[in-house]
């Protein structure tokens, strides 16, 4: 797994093993994450017409990784980022901050490593002047703690002033924050008017362990990576002393909170192996985490100022809140039937959640990138046979070669297929447990990628839609070259982007060697999606236009982008060919893109071509 364990107190072996399972499910890969962050940052900044990014660089690993990601984004082709500013703002206060010389030296090293412009602003005199004025007015001399609070908050106007100076010079700029997920999602380990008051949060979905993994990959100076995380506060304590628990424990604790919310009962299986020592450590650190959460809960009641550039899930129950989930009404489907609940129950029992192995093997098809994948072992022979028997036992609706029943006349038209639909969350969960490891954990789409990404470059697969369609081809039945279409959940975040076809039979002994699912040359493939015609073709494809073809043995599956051109070749056997059709639900990563400003209206005389 591509994660470096964060520095700090080591977890007991049993807790570390549980954390490893949760990390495996998250499927963090540093280079893929960097590519996704770069794409999401550049897409948002370009749409917002922002050309400058400002980061307060403290000398710590979080601000270093933030600056490193922005440098990668700025170096990407077509990036809108023209100015990258590292602000070093030491406060050499005798009683409000510590280690400022060391922090300043590390900050300079970070800025130089990422070729950022350096703005060095010594705020010592500013902090002293504000403190003296307020102490006089209030009639009380602030102690070291109060002075330290002022050190944090006084940097905020200075950082925003730098963005104003950039804008004054003609480069619209934003202030980028440095809060990670472990500090921000549940602990409230940030200041509302200091490090929490920013325009963008680029790393707020990343655990501290993942920040360290990125630090190594991005080239953060070793002295920064080797240092214990600290805010250089008035009393000089490191972060884990202030939190009362190791960062790895915070990652474990918040991950289990999310498991409890999404999968009630799953925690018991994850924690069953814990002994008394591990449980005692867990309880001790959990008490510290909950105490800090209660103290800072007010920070989650008020809305945050920042836009979060999320790639992974950031939300934690009781902490940073998730956008509302909108589940559309189930509606009415063609030949709907109730799936026997014993079938998904058996599938779920055979592949437990958080199992070490999913039992599937994925093969990316050459020439298609991540747009077309063949998955072996999604179902075994008995499981495929059970689903096949269930589908063939249902009343079905006949459709033509265009896949629709309307206008189809079996006496006049060539045969297509028969269809039936079922709606099953249990089947979606069971198949997703097996399918998820076979797919990329994140997709970064180019503009011409064959699916409806809607201009958002980064999407994360979240599961299967609970709507399943059974498709049965009898002798002569087929499907013309066509494109699939996605489903929009209407919440601004979720959309299906990939199709799934699962083979349910017949076995090769009964119908040998027919590669009936064929992917075709698309002569529109170089056009932007908005300019393509996704109408069905009227005739079967020529063999010369076939790029890849698959027979789909029982239990095999194809997963492919919705807008890949494909067809179902006419079936030559009496033994029916049965497929299960599903869709992969994706969540948009990064903030919603601002709408493009409307074009100014043309003068009336120009519109009428007068003058």
pLDDT for res 93? 79
Most confident among 60-74, 530-544, 596-610 (mean pLDDT): 60-74
Question: What CATH number is given for 342-349+360-588 in this structure?
Answer: 2.60.120.620
Rounded to whole angstroms, the Cα distance separating 200 from 45 reads 10
Each residue's pLDDT tens digit, 363-399:
999 999 999 999 999 999 999 999 999 999 999 999 9
Mean pLDDT on 501-517: 86
Pairing of strands 52-56, 173-176: parallel
What is the b/e burial string over 516-548, where b = at least 16 CB atoms within 10 angstroms of the residue's CB?
bbbbbebebeeeebeebeeeeeeebbeeebbbb
Lowest mean pLDDT among 116-125, 153-162, 323-332: 323-332
Please, which pLDDT band fits residue 601 given cuts at 50, 70 and 90? low
The overall average pLDDT reported for the chain is 91
Judge whether residue 233 has pLDDT over 80.
no
Is 51's pLDDT higher than 80? Answer: yes
Dihedral, CA of residue 362, residue 363, residue 365 and residue 369, to nearest 10: 60
What does the alpha-carbon distance between residue 406 and residue 2 come to, in Å, rounded to a whole number?
Answer: 51
Lowest-pLDDT range, 2-6, 41-45, 61-65? Answer: 2-6
Report the 10 Å Cβ neighbour count for 392: 16
* Domains 28-240 and 342-349+360-588 are alike in CATH topology: no
Q: How far apart are CA 350 and CA 158, in angstroms?
A: 58
Residue 343 gets the label, from left (phi > 0), alpha (psi -120 to 50) or beta, of alpha
Domain ranges across the chain: 28-240, 342-349+360-588
Please report how the helices 381-392 and 342-350 are oriented relative to each other, as an axis angle in degrees rounded to 10. Answer: 170
Among candidate residues 73, 109, 61, 114, the one with its CA nearest the CA of residue 88: 109
Q: How far is CA 92 from CA 128, 147, 151, 230, in A?
A: 10, 12, 9, 16
Q: Is the pLDDT of residue 260 over 60?
A: yes
> What class has domain 28-240?
alpha beta
Q: Residue 491: is its pLDDT beyond 50?
A: yes
Contact 574, 28 (CB under 8 A): no
Least confident of 14-18, 287-291, 607-611: 607-611
Record the tokens describing residue 537, joined without a space: 């073709």
User: Where residue 301 falls among pLDDT bands split at 50, 70, 90?
Assistant: confident
Task: State percent of the chain over pLDDT 90.
Answer: 74
- pLDDT value at position 320? 85
Whether the pLDDT of residue 610 is over 60: the answer is no
pLDDT band at 107; cut points 50, 70, 90: very high
pLDDT in tens, 199-212: 999 999 999 999 99
pLDDT at res. 406:
84
Helix (H, G, I), strand (E, B) or coil at 466: coil
Can you tell me whether residue 188 is helix, strand or coil? coil
State the pLDDT at residue 264: 83
């Amino acid at each position: 797994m591509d994660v470096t364990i964060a520095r700090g107190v080591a977890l007991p072996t049993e807790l570390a093993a549980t954390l490893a399972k949760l990390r495996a499910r998250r499927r963090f890969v540093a280079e893929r994450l960097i590519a996704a962050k770069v794409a999401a940052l550049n897409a948002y900044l370009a749409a917002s017409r922002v050309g400058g990014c400002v980061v307060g660089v403290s000398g710590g690993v979080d601000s270093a990784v933030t600056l490193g990601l922005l440098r990668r984004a700025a170096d990407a082709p077509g990036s809108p980022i023209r100015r990258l500013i590292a602000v070093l703002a030491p406060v050499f206060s005798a009683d409000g901050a510590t280690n400022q010389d060391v922090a300043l030296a590390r900050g300079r090293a970070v800025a130089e490593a990422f070729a950022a412009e350096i703005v060095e602003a010594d705020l010592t005199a500013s902090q002293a002047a504000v403190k003296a004025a307020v102490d006089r007015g209030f009639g009380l001399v602030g102690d070291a703690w109060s002075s330290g609070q002022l050190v944090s908050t006084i940097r905020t106007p200075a950082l925003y002033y730098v963005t104003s100076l950039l804008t004054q010079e003609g480069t619209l700029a934003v202030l980028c924050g440095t809060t990670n997920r472990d500090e921000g999602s549940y602990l409230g380990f940030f200041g509302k008017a200091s490090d929490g008051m920013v325009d963008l949060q680029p790393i707020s979905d990343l655990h501290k362990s993942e920040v360290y993994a990125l630090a190594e990959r991005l080239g953060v100076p070793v002295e920064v990576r080797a240092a214990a995380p600290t805010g250089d506060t008035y009393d000089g304590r490191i972060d884990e002393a202030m939190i009362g628990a190791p960062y790895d424990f915070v990652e474990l604790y918040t991950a289990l909170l999310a498991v409890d919310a999404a999968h009630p009962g799953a925690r018991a299986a994850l924690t069953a192996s814990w002994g008394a020592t591990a449980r005692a450590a867990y309880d001790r650190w959990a008490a510290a985490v909950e105490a800090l959460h209660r103290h800072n809960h007010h920070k989650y009641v008020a809305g945050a100022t920042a836009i979060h550039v999320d790639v992974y899930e950031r939300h934690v129950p009781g902490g940073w809140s998730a956008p509302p989930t909108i589940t559309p009404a189930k509606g009415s489907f063609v030949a709907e039937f109730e799936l026997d609940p014993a079938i998904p129950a058996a599938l779920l029992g055979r592949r437990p959640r958080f199992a070490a192995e999913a039992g599937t093997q994925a093969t990316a098809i050459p020439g298609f990138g991540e747009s077309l994948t063949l998955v072996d072992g999604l179902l075994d022979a008995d499981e495929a046979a059970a689903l096949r028997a269930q589908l063939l036992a249902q009343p079905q609706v006949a459709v033509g070669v265009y896949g629709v029943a309307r206008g189809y006349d079996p006496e006049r038209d060539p045969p297509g297929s028969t269809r039936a639909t079922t709606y099953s969350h249990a089947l979606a969960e069971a198949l997703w447990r097996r399918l998820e490891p076979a797919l990329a954990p994140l997709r970064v789409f180019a503009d011409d990628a064959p699916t409806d990404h809607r201009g958002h470059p980064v999407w994360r697969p979240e599961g299967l839609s609970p709507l399943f369609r059974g498709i049965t081809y009898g002798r002569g039945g087929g499907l013309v070259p066509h494109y699939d279409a996605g489903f929009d959940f209407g919440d601004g975040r979720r959309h299906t982007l990939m199709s799934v076809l699962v083979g349910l039979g017949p076995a090769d002994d009964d119908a040998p060697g027919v590669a009936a699912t064929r992917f075709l040359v698309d002569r529109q493939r170089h056009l932007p999606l908005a300019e393509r015609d996704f109408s069905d073709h009227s005739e079967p494809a020529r063999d010369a236009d076939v790029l890849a073809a698959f027979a789909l043995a029982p239990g095999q599956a194809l997963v492919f982008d919705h807008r890949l051109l494909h067809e179902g070749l006419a079936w030559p056997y009496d033994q029916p060919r049965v497929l299960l059709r599903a869709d992969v639900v994706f969540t948009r990563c990064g903030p919603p893109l601002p709408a493009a400003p409307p074009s100014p209206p043309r003068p009336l005389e120009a519109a009428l071509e007068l003058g």
